[in-house]
Structure 1
Amino acid sequence: MAPIKVGCPAILIALLAGLAAPISVKGDQIDDYIKAQMRQLHIPGASLAIVRDGHIAKAQGYGFANLELQASARKDTVYEIGSTSKQFTAAAIMMLVEEDKVRLDDTITKYFTEAPQRWRGITIRHLLTHTSGIQNHVAVPHWLDVFRTNLAFETTPSRDEL
Structure 2
Amino acid sequence: MNPRNFFAERRSIAELARPIAAAVLCVCVSAAVAAPSRPRVDEVAAIVAAGMKEQGIPGAALVVMKGDEIILARGFGVEDAAREDRVTENSIFALGSITKQFTAAAILQLVEQRRLALDDPVAHHLPDFTHLPADLKIQHLLSHTSGIREEFAQPELTALFAQPGTTYEEYVDAARHSPSDWPPGSRWSYGNINYLLLGLIVERVDGQPLEVVFDERFFKPLELRSFRLCPPQTGEVPGEARGHVNRDGALVPLTRRRTHRCSVAPADSAEARWTSRVGCAHWRKAKW
Please give the TM-score of this superposition, normalised by the length of structure 1: 0.49
